[in-house]
């Protein structure tokens, strides 16, 4: 009997975890080819911003998905929400791979591409609430460790996407820019199908029960916790999207595009290590000191890494330092909200934070030099995250 329960626990945690891997996979699947997408779908003087907009479109869609699928996860169960999100993502990913370019469709091409990216973002935004609740509610680990494990799925997905990108670029050569990018994007649908198969055997969270009140009503009546949670995550995501996720554009701006695959992979490995280490360190020194200390250290290091000497070593070091707080987001948020609206609360807190941080790539792209814009975005995000954390933990 115990073996059976442990097997159910492992399958449920793994199925939810794969969704966060898929989220990271999607993010870095597109990032290395944003300049290419800009040329294909937004030709002209604004192709760079057009390429960045393909990332921003998913970020804008995520808050809607977080509210809708968080509600589903609370009202009908975490399992139902997770099955719906991965199904919707798989169809939108396939649609992107088949989308005609501007040369074939004119202005309808970028509009259609961004619409599908918006839908993709909505389904991905629905992952965090039910998925994080599923893992944290099934896990028997200490909260800091479960939190770090949950968050590690995203950078692991990024690593997988980076390796896939490097493989496609090396094997296909110039043909990648003609048709290979379509097959490359279609791998997102394949990853979603694998996740769906695993999730078909998910068991419902042992802590879930049908709520007696509307989860979203309960959430928005929860008071300051939601506001401070959004500011906390919004600040962290501003840091993340102003720096680490814009590294490919920084290297292209500096005329070092050939370094993008290797640096992206190294920075992501460093980020994954930081996220996983965060659980152990927080258990020893406390989550609040670790989060504040790492953000301060990142802001101090950033001028050197982004402006003075943007070498591979300094950029990887910055990615490592700034990612410790990301590993503790579920730990900080999980106990601030009641079980009957927890999936909605987690999803909205995290993804509505993207309404703050999600615009960072576009704003950073307007700055010159690019490194200065990245530095300003990081400093502002760190200040916002610390303010949100202090207010949330003082409640």
Does residue 208 lie in a domain region? no
Count of the separate structural domains present in the chain: 1
What percent of the chain clears pLDDT 90, i.e. is strictly above it?
A: 59
**Predicted confidence (pLDDT) per residue in 317-345, tens digit:** 999 999 999 999 999 999 888 889 999 99
Does residue 280 lie in a domain region? yes
Q: What does the alpha-carbon distance between residue 5 and residue 12 come to, in Å, rounded to a whole number?
A: 11
Is residue 72 scored above 90 in pLDDT? Answer: yes
Does residue 288 lie in a domain region? yes
CATH of the domain at 345: 1.20.1250.20
**Predicted confidence (pLDDT) per residue in 206-262, tens digit:** 999 999 899 999 998 877 899 999 999 999 999 998 998 788 889 988 999 888 878
Q: What is the pLDDT at residue 339?
A: 87
Does residue 207 lie in a domain region? no
Q: Reduced to 3 states, what is the DSSP secondary structure of residue 331?
A: helix
Q: What is the pTM of this model?
A: 0.87
**Predicted confidence (pLDDT) per residue in 289-307, tens digit:** 999 999 999 999 999 999 9
Does residue 178 lie in a domain region? yes
**Predicted confidence (pLDDT) per residue in 101-122, tens digit:** 988 888 899 999 999 999 999 9
What percent of the chain clears pLDDT 70, i.e. is strictly above it?
A: 99
Enclosing domain of residue 78? 2-202+213-394
Asked if 350 and 303 touch (Cβ cutoff 8 Å), the reply is no
The conformation of residue 367, written as its DSSP 8-state character, comes to S
Q: What is the pLDDT at residue 353?
A: 92
Question: What number is the average pLDDT over the span 129-133?
Answer: 95
**Predicted confidence (pLDDT) per residue in 23-68, tens digit:** 889 877 887 788 889 888 988 877 878 887 888 888 889 999 999 9
Orientation of helix 224-242 relative to helix 370-394, angle to 10°: 160
Q: What is the pLDDT at residue 170?
A: 81
Average pLDDT, the chain: 90
Q: What does the alpha-carbon distance between residue 194 and residue 167 come to, in Å, rounded to a whole number?
A: 20
Asked if 20 and 147 touch (Cβ cutoff 8 Å), the reply is no
Close Cβ partners of 382 (under 8 Å, ≥ 6 residues apart)? 235, 239, 295, 296, 298, 299
Q: What is the pLDDT at residue 1?
A: 46
């Amino acid at each position: 009997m115990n073996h059976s329960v442990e097997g159910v626990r492992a399958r449920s945690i793994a199925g939810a975890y794969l969704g966060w891997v898929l989220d990271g996979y999607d993010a870095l699947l597109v990032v290395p080819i944003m300049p290419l997408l800009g040329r294909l779908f937004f030709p002209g003087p604004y192709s760079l911003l057009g390429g960045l907009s393909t990332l921003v479109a998913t970020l804008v869609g995520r808050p809607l998905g977080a509210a809708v699928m968080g509600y589903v996860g609370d009202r009908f169960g975490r399992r139902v929400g997770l099955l719906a999100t991965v199904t919707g993502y798989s169809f939108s990913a396939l649609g992107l791979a088949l989308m005609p370019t501007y040369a074939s469709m004119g202005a309808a091409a970028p509009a259609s591409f961004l619409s599908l990216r918006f839908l993709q973002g909505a389904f991905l935004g629905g992952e965090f609430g039910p998925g994080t609740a599923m893992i944290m509610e099934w896990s028997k680990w200490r909260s800091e460790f479960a939190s770090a494990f949950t968050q590690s799925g995203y950078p692991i997905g990024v690593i997988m996407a980076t390796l896939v990108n490097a493989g496609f670029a090396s094997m296909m050569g110039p043909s990648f820019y003609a048709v290979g990018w379509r097959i490359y994007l279609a791998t997102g649908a394949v990853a979603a199908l694998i996740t769906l198969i695993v999730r078909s055997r998910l068991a419902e969270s042992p802590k879930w029960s049908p709520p007696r009140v509307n989860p979203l009503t309960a959430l928005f009546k929860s008071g300051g916790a939601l506001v401070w949670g959004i500011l906390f995550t919004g600040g962290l995501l501003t840091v993340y999207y102003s720096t680490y996720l814009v590294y490919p554009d920084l290297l292209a701006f500096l005329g070092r595009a050939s370094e993008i695959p290797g640096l992206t992979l190294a920075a992501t490995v460093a980020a994954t290590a930081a996220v996983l280490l965060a659980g152990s360190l927080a258990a020893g020194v406390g989550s609040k000191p670790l989060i504040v200390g790492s953000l301060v250290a990142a802001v101090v290091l950033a001028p050197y890494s982004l402006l003075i000497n943007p070498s591979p070593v300094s950029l990887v070091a910055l990615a490592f330092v700034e990612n410790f707080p990301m590993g503790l987001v579920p730990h900080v948020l999980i106990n601030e909200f009641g079980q009957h609206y927890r999936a909605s609360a987690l999803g909205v807190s995290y993804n509505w934070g993207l309404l703050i941080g999600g615009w960072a790539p576009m704003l950073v792209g307007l700055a010159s030099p690019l490194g200065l814009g990245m530095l300003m975005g990081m400093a502002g995000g760190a200040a916002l995250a610390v303010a949100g954390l202090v207010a949330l933990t003082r409640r």
